[in-house]
Structure 1
Amino acid sequence: MDDAITNRNDPYASLRFREFKFFLVIRFALIFALAMQFAIIEWKVYILTNDPLNLGLIGLAEFVPAFCLALFAGNIVDKKEKRGMVLKCIFGYLFIGTGLFFLTWDYVMASVPKNMVLGLIYFLVFCGGIVRAFTSPSNFTLLSVLVPRELYANATTWSTSAWQIGAIAGPALGGLCIAWLGVHWSMLLVLGFVLVALFCILQISPKPIYYKEIGETVKQRLTSGLRFVWKTKVLLNAMTLDMFAVLFGGSVAMITIYANDILHVGPQGFGMMRAAPAVGSFVILFTLAYKPIVTRPGIKLLASVFGFGLCIIVFGLSKNFVLSLAALFMSGILDGVSVIIRQTILQLKTPDDMRGRVSSVSSIFVGSSNELGSFESGVAAKLMGTVTSVVFGGCMTLGVVITTYIISPAMRKLELKP
């Protein structure tokens, strides 16, 4: 680790560590590539089927393995060297991206029956869910050994912001690239970003393992993360709040339908709507780096998720393209605030030897709810109609925030101290 002066009041303190800067590029490039890939596949599947339920099935295909393997993956990550685990995950994504690149080739599309192409796409997305079960805890634990503990809040702000920007900017560029390059060549760009992540992880040295063997049974090791989160009510409440907000506020999965059938703005408008939350996340990156959240973080977490729900309702009801962009922009800002606070809670409250297992529990609560939220949105759109389903999701998000505020005094009184 670099011989850097650790000053918690310096907004760039964690950036003074060379390996952490490479880690940030990995976080951005990998999630950018995967989110872009997901958006491109959503577009392709919808064009092939014209059915919102098939969009939901994409999310379900990734959710099932990520959910089922989460506890197992966390246990493995805690026992293994973290840089090596991230490297293996990147190789997995290279394999999946290459498969999707060939599946979207016009020659393959013309030679292979449509149902077989769809089946292979879902299979590769399923494989992506397997890899993702290991990626989240590997990244989470790697961050903790790249900077000193007193800089966890600062490092988490940068890391989460890089993730947020990549997660929303990736689909935005995906929409634009579909219009400019077509689906097939857009997938090649995805592979390019995964290769950037591969280069950066090779610049980070192997790290020590903090796992302590204390004679636990396999069942005890696999469930220890769940038991820790259950006992640590602040963690439990933060994860539950974010899980339901993502589950019911998953309007992003319906942007494809809004662009095509409601606002009639085509792939260019699709890209702009995907980009709007990314711009919001970019704004919050610099705001929270210079003015970190140190007072009443619990109340601010609740307020940001409540505001996110309101943005989803406005987006769902809007028939005006500019208003839709504004709602998505604000949703990016508010979602960024909530994710940064939750990740800081997770870093500060988790013991070093349990980071993989606790992060895996977080991925069950929050990470997998992105895909489950996409499935829920697809099913709800099929049953209620697109607009009604999005508005319903926003209203449910508001209800979850109000309930959490009432039943969780620990969240209202939360303080974040190293």
Structure 2
Amino acid sequence: MSNSPPATPPIDPSPSLYKGPLQIPAFRSFLLARFISVLSYSAQSAAIAWHIYETARETTGVGQSALYVGLMGLCQFVAMFITTLPAGVVVDKYDRKKVMGFTIAAQAVIALGFFALAVTPDSPFWALFVLSACLGVTRSFIAPAGSSIGPMIVPRDMLPKAIAINSLSFQVGGVLGPALGGVLVAASTGFAYGVSAVLFILAGIIILNIKANTQPDYAGGSKMEMVKEGLSYIWTNKVVLGALSLDLFAVLLGGATALLPIFAKDVLHVGPEGYGILRSSAAVGAMATAAWLARSPIRRHAGKWMYGGVAIFGICTIIFGISQSFWVSVAALVVLGAADMVSVYVRGTLVQIVTPDYMRGRVASVSYLFIGASNELGEFESGVAARFLGPVGAALFGGIGSLIVTGAWVKLFPALYKSDSL
């Protein structure tokens, strides 16, 4: 195992200097960079899904093209899975704002690659999946780096509120990004990629110019020892393990993101503009909930809040699947996003507050591996299910599966269910 952790934590702003996290200049810069990055990533993701679906639909039909959209998520996840644990070690050894800034710069280069494919006639279809895999690699670095910077620039007593504000910023970007992507795709897929590249460059410049010490205290040990230490921490902390795995399996089954292009074009018949609204709907609910949590953080019955959020997530997935009305589908996704935000908030607060700083990168890497598995593998699962069950059947299968997982996890992780104060 690695050497003993450092006796003192990284520089922590004095709580007496600030009344709230937004008064901290470094946190404001971090928040702005994170928002722009999420806005760009969300717009680009919407463009990629539409690009792949449209390209495949012309030659293979609706069912097969849905599978290709799912394969995009699988490519991202496989790449992220391979690089996640090494990325956590990097985040715990090197300046975290530099790791995040250079990773965002890499995302800008990837966006330019998508742009080149979009504007080049008869560009190879497989190249879309190669670039999607590269995007998965960048996510394995940017997620733990971003998660680990916050606690270094915000006093511990302000951290729960800072997490809620950061989540709000994330969700605002998630709301505007897909809508922006839908509008830009309606004009030109290449134009959507170009705008994303410019936004990534801007976010990278801001994050690299944060005036704060984000160099972690390196505890020593080999890379393998550092990886083992992070995995051991999560495995032995059953509350954290339960929270991460609940989100993994519930969203893995219930994720409907991969189905949205199919529902927009072939079920609800609303085109790219309606697709942008559908992509944004869950983020609207999450944004409203994050705003509420920023003003009134959850203080008691945290475990019950989390389980309740996951259960509502499954119910809304079922409603979305059977709906034939565009606005009913939008409403279901809004409530789904709100419920998901509650579970994300509880999980994020637990992990960031409990984990010591010297291993935050590794723990955050595993955490985001679980999240990535639920999102990207969830898209693959939905694509495969849609291929054999149709889009409606796939949504019903996922929603019912999420409810079954919620009930099972109450029995498997009673400590999480009984968790009270954050």
Asked if these proteins are the same fold (TM beyond 0.5), I'd say: yes
Alignment of 1:144 with 2:151, yes or no, is: yes
Alignment of 1:58 with 2:72, yes or no, is: yes
Partner SS, residue 204 of structure 1 = coil
Q: Partner of 1:127 in structure 2?
A: 134
1:318 CA displacement: 0.4
Gaps of 5+ in 2: 1-11, 58-64
1:36 CA displacement: 1.3
- Normalising by structure 1, report the TM-score: 0.93
1:209 CA displacement: 2.0
The C-alpha deviation readout for 1:143-193, integer Å capped at 9, x for no partner, is: 1111011111111111122223323431222112222x2211111221222
Q: Partner of 1:203 in structure 2?
A: 209
Q: Partner of 1:298 in structure 2?
A: 303
Report the residue type matching 1:100 in the other structure: F
Q: Partner of 2:33 in structure 1?
A: 26
Relative distance call for 1:218 and 1:282 in structure 2 (3 A) is: closer
Relative distance call for 1:2 and 1:240 in structure 2 (3 A) is: closer
Q: Partner of 2:97 in structure 1?
A: 83
Report the residue type matching 2:22 in the other structure: L
> What is the rounded CA distance, in whole Å, between the counterparts of 1:391 and 1:196 in structure 2?
41
> What is the rounded CA distance, in whole Å, between the counterparts of 2:362 and 2:200 in structure 1?
25
Q: Is the 8 A contact 2:108 2:196 kept in 1?
A: no
Q: Partner of 1:169 in structure 2?
A: 176
- Normalising by structure 2, report the TM-score: 0.92
> What is the rounded CA distance, in whole Å, between the counterparts of 2:367 and 2:225 in structure 1?
18
Relative distance call for 1:83 and 1:328 in structure 2 (3 A) is: same
Say how many residue pairs are matched. 403
> What is the rounded CA distance, in whole Å, between the counterparts of 2:230 and 2:349 in structure 1?
17
Q: Partner of 1:185 in structure 2?
A: 191
Matches within 5 A, 1:137-286: 137-179=144-186, 181-205=187-211, 206-213=213-220, 216-286=221-291
Partner SS, residue 364 of structure 1 = helix
Relative distance call for 1:350 and 1:182 in structure 2 (3 A) is: same
Partner SS, residue 238 of structure 1 = helix
> What is the rounded CA distance, in whole Å, between the counterparts of 1:200 and 1:333 in structure 2?
29
Matches within 5 A, 1:295-374: 295-374=300-379
Q: Is the 8 A contact 1:4 1:16 kept in 2?
A: no
Alignment of 1:104 with 2:110, yes or no, is: no
Q: Is the 8 A contact 2:171 2:284 kept in 1?
A: no
Report the identity percentage: 36
> What is the rounded CA distance, in whole Å, between the counterparts of 2:413 and 2:223 in structure 1?
33
Q: Partner of 2:9 in structure 1?
A: none
Q: Is the 8 A contact 1:176 1:271 kept in 2?
A: yes
> What is the rounded CA distance, in whole Å, between the counterparts of 1:2 and 1:79 in structure 2?
21
Q: Partner of 1:41 in structure 2?
A: 48
Partner SS, residue 385 of structure 1 = helix
> What is the rounded CA distance, in whole Å, between the counterparts of 2:116 and 2:421 in structure 1?
47
Partner SS, residue 149 of structure 2 = helix
Gaps of 5+ in 1: none
> What is the rounded CA distance, in whole Å, between the counterparts of 1:303 and 1:35 in structure 2?
27
Q: Is the 8 A contact 2:13 2:153 kept in 1?
A: no
1:220 CA displacement: 2.3
Relative distance call for 1:45 and 1:217 in structure 2 (3 A) is: same
1:2 CA displacement: 6.4
1:194 CA displacement: 0.9
Report the residue type matching 2:145 in the other structure: S
> What is the rounded CA distance, in whole Å, between the counterparts of 2:389 and 2:17 in structure 1?
53
**2:87 counterpart (56, 64, 73):** 73
Partner SS, residue 104 of structure 1 = helix
Q: Is the 8 A contact 2:178 2:280 kept in 1?
A: yes
1:217 CA displacement: 4.4
> What is the rounded CA distance, in whole Å, between the counterparts of 2:396 and 2:218 in structure 1?
45
1:6 CA displacement: 6.6
1:16 CA displacement: 1.1
> What is the rounded CA distance, in whole Å, between the counterparts of 1:175 and 1:230 in structure 2?
41
Q: Partner of 1:378 in structure 2?
A: 383
Q: Is the 8 A contact 1:4 1:17 kept in 2?
A: no
Q: Partner of 2:418 in structure 1?
A: 413
Q: Is the 8 A contact 2:40 2:177 kept in 1?
A: yes
1:326 CA displacement: 0.7
1:275 CA displacement: 2.1
Partner SS, residue 211 of structure 1 = coil
